Chains A and B, each alone.
Chain A
Amino acid sequence: MKFSKFFFYRRKITSAVMMSLSLVATLIAIIPLILIFYYTISKGITYLNFDFFVAMPKPVGESGGGMANAIVGTLMLIGIGGAIGIPVGVMAGTYLSEFGNNKFGSTVRFFTDVLSGIPSIVVGVVAYTLIVVPMKHFSGLAGGVALGILMIPTITRTTEEMIKLVPHSLREAGLALGIPKWKTTILIVLKTAWKGIATGILLGLSRAAGETAPLLFTALGNRFWSTNVMQPMASLTVYIYDYAKSPFEDWNNQAWTAALVLILMISVLSLLFKVITRSKYKTK
């Protein structure tokens, strides 16, 4: 009797200890998150002013100035990336869900996963050899292409998953009315799934907005106003990198502000993402 009591309590105590350890692990993981947010917001907000959004960067040694060119540059770069990544991703995803139930389909699926695991810096190297080397100079176009490649796997997989959620009865209804399959797919299936696909696209865009490594030697960065995609182009992330490494305190502080603005941009994108997914589940 006493023995069984002993084992009973030992089991109870082990369970309580292990389960509270899992709580401790969660708390430990939250600490760096809170610290990162705290520093980005508290340090970034002190230099956040209207100038940051409209003024150009000042030359070395002068304080003040903004990053108007970098904000526009980041938007243009993810625009170019989207122009490449969205059509490829959506079409490939459509193929995988509608026609991809074969060996080739699973090969493509596997390669999409491989592509999503390739480090962004490697994609940057490829964009360099593909575009920068033949053009003989750095360009926004090369940076945009690199970002586009990085978006493809996210958009492809989300599109496939979302199209698969569309009930079969909808397709059958369309086909039964004599609508050709391609029209059924575009007008009925894709239209039903577009909200989910849009979330995938937003996710891809917001990830691309935070990428630095593939831009370092493709879009390079630019201290002047430039919207020419054939020329080097500024971006917020590369500015953060350069300013964080610089010895000037003013630049270091601006790096924090740039980080805050970048996170705000990404949050707006993911907020859109949340809103879209929520309305989707409500209508269901």
Chain B
Amino acid sequence: MVISENQINNENPEYKKQKPVSPTVVFFRKLFFTQNLGDFFFERLTLLFAVLVFLLVMLMGYEMYQGSKISIDKFGWSFLSNSVWDPVQEIYGALPIIYGTIVSSFLALVLSVPLSIGIAIFLSELAPDWLEKPLSFLVELLAGIPSVVYGLWGIFVLVPWIRTDVEPFLSEHLGFLPFFRGAPYGFGMLAAVLILAIMVLPIVSAISRDILRSVPQSQREAALALGATRWQSTKIVLKDARSGILGATMLGLGRAVGETMAVTMVIGNRAMISPSLFDPSYTMASVIANEFTEASSEMYLSALIQLALVLFIITIIINAFAKLLVWSMERKLKTR
């Protein structure tokens, strides 16, 4: 048995006069007084691996900071606000790329979040067990398809369809809006938004379903007992779950912002700011995927690593926020 500091202090009043001992002394005292060396080392061994996970994230940030130092020194904050990305003249401004990332992820969420909430409601409130299980399995299957396969499907099925059907239709009927003008290439923002929406859908709906399920059944029963309809009881459930659903949306946003392959394959890959959804665009992840192996100069590589650093920081903020929202929801339900 390990003799703890407290026991020594309680039993021998003389020890109280001593100064607090240093951590090194505590370490060796524990090492020598422990009854079982295996326990001592096992705990520290597992601790080592836990620290490793922690250090890994730190190391990632540090490595990218080091790798992008040349670019950070030269461009500083103007990297984020300059709108010219020109590797030939060694000018790197990420504004059009950040614009492409934000617009594509935001529009994808606008399309997929209402659908996801609908799916979550259907799966948790309506569907009978025999239907719910295979449907949930399908949704999980959708999450398991590699993103490069989505991209492949995007290139050969989605993009031709957008080029021949969707874009002519939109420009004919909604062409007075600046969003639907220009030549119908197929490859461009619209294709990226659609494919991102498809990819974000399973994640947001799976998490939202779990969150709706975690709302106590008694809430629904109370509402139904008062004569509420299904939809009215669902509204109450949704009200309880709103921070959790917002958290799920943020996790979907994190996924959309970082999604690489499928977007790179359909977005057209040109750094430009255009209101039209038909025009090609670029996202941070797709710039890195597309240009990293071509980066010939040190400055070019450095700028790309800086882009990765920006992406890293953005996704950490989004995910931390999402985590906080889901936590606060869980805590609220627990205290009830």
A217 near B: Cβ within 8 Å?
Answer: yes
For the complex formed, measure the closest distance between the CB of A70 and the CB atoms of chain B, giving whole angstroms: 12
Could you say which of A23, A115, A217, A237 contacts B148, with CB atoms under 8 Å apart? Answer: A237
Residues in B neighbouring A230, C-beta threshold 8 A:
none
B293 near A: Cβ within 8 Å?
Answer: yes
Stretch at the interface among B3-11, B37-45, B74-82, B176-184: B37-45
Q: How far is the CA of A40 from the CA of B152 in the complex (A)?
A: 9
A125 touches B251 (CB 8 A): no
A154 near B: Cβ within 8 Å?
Answer: no
Which size bracket describes the interface of A in this complex?
A: 35 or more
Q: How far is the CA of A255 from the CA of B293 in the complex (A)?
A: 21
State how many residues of chain B have any CB contact under 8 Å with chain A. 87
Q: How far is the CA of A61 from the CA of B318 in the complex (A)?
A: 46
Q: Scan residues 134-175 of chain B and give those whose CB is less than 8 A from a CB of chain A.
A: 135, 138-139, 141-142, 144-153, 155-157
A210 touches B145 (CB 8 A): yes
Could you say which of A12, A94, A113 contacts B323, with CB atoms under 8 Å apart? Answer: A113
For the complex formed, measure the closest distance between the CB of B285 and the CB atoms of chain A, giving whole angstroms: 5
Contact with B along A109-131 (1 / 0, CB 8 A): 01111111111111111101110
Contact A256 to B289, CB < 8 A, known contacts A15-B232, A26-B123, A121-B258:
no
B119 near A: Cβ within 8 Å?
Answer: yes
Residues in A neighbouring B229, C-beta threshold 8 A:
11-12, 14-15
Nearest first, the 4 closest Cβ-Cβ pairs linking A and B are A119-B258, A25-B118, A210-B146, A117-B319
- Closest residue of A by beta carbon distance from B201: A29
Q: Which of B64, B198, B229, B259 has its CB near the most chain A CB atoms (within 10 A)?
A: B229
A216 touches B293 (CB 8 A): yes
A120 touches B260 (CB 8 A): yes
A91 near B: Cβ within 8 Å?
Answer: yes
For the complex formed, measure the closest distance between the CB of B43 and the CB atoms of chain A, giving whole angstroms: 6
Contact A240 to B152, CB < 8 A, known contacts A23-B126, A121-B289:
yes
A152 touches B53 (CB 8 A): yes
Stretch at the interface among A46-54, A166-174, A179-187, A193-201: A179-187
A91 touches B46 (CB 8 A): yes
A19 near B: Cβ within 8 Å?
Answer: yes
Q: How far is the CA of A43 from the CA of B148 in the complex (A)?
A: 16
B71 near A: Cβ within 8 Å?
Answer: no
A94 touches B46 (CB 8 A): yes
Residues in A neighbouring B257, C-beta threshold 8 A:
119
A272 near B: Cβ within 8 Å?
Answer: no
B28 near A: Cβ within 8 Å?
Answer: no
Residues in A neighbouring B103, C-beta threshold 8 A:
none
User: Known pairs A22-B126, A99-B43, A100-B50. 14 more at Cβ < 8 A?
Assistant: A11-B232, A19-B125, A25-B119, A29-B142, A36-B145, A36-B150, A95-B49, A118-B258, A118-B315, A125-B305, A152-B56, A181-B36, A245-B155, A263-B146
B230 touches A122 (CB 8 A): no
Q: How far is the CA of A262 from the CA of B36 in the complex (A)?
A: 48
Residues in A neighbouring B54, C-beta threshold 8 A:
107-108, 111
A117 touches B316 (CB 8 A): yes
B66 near A: Cβ within 8 Å?
Answer: yes
Residues in A neighbouring B312, C-beta threshold 8 A:
118-119, 122
7 interchain pairs, CB-CB under 8 A: A21-B118, A88-B49, A116-B319, A210-B144, A244-B148, A263-B146, A266-B146
Could you say which of A108, A125, A259 contacts B50, with CB atoms under 8 Å apart? Answer: A108
Q: How far is the CA of A255 from the CA of B156 in the complex (A)?
A: 11
B52 touches A92 (CB 8 A): yes
B67 near A: Cβ within 8 Å?
Answer: yes
Q: How far is the CA of A123 from the CA of B308 in the complex (A)?
A: 9
B265 near A: Cβ within 8 Å?
Answer: yes
For the complex formed, measure the closest distance between the CB of B229 and the CB atoms of chain A, giving whole angstroms: 4
A213 near B: Cβ within 8 Å?
Answer: yes
B38 touches A183 (CB 8 A): yes
B122 near A: Cβ within 8 Å?
Answer: yes
Q: How far is the CA of A122 from the CA of B234 in the complex (A)?
A: 40
- Closest residue of A by beta carbon distance from B55: A111
Q: How far is the CA of A28 from the CA of B48 in the complex (A)?
A: 47
Contact with B along A207-243 (1 / 0, CB 8 A): 1011111001100100000000000000001001100
Contact A180 to B38, CB < 8 A, known contacts A92-B49, A117-B254, A129-B67:
yes
A126 touches B64 (CB 8 A): yes
Residues in A neighbouring B202, C-beta threshold 8 A:
29
Could you say which of B42, B60, B231 contacts A122, with CB atoms under 8 Å apart? Answer: B60
B141 touches A19 (CB 8 A): no
For the complex formed, measure the closest distance between the CB of B293 and the CB atoms of chain A, giving whole angstroms: 5
Q: Scan residues 55-109 of chain B and give those whose CB is less than 8 A from a CB of chain A.
A: 56-57, 59-60, 63-64, 66-67
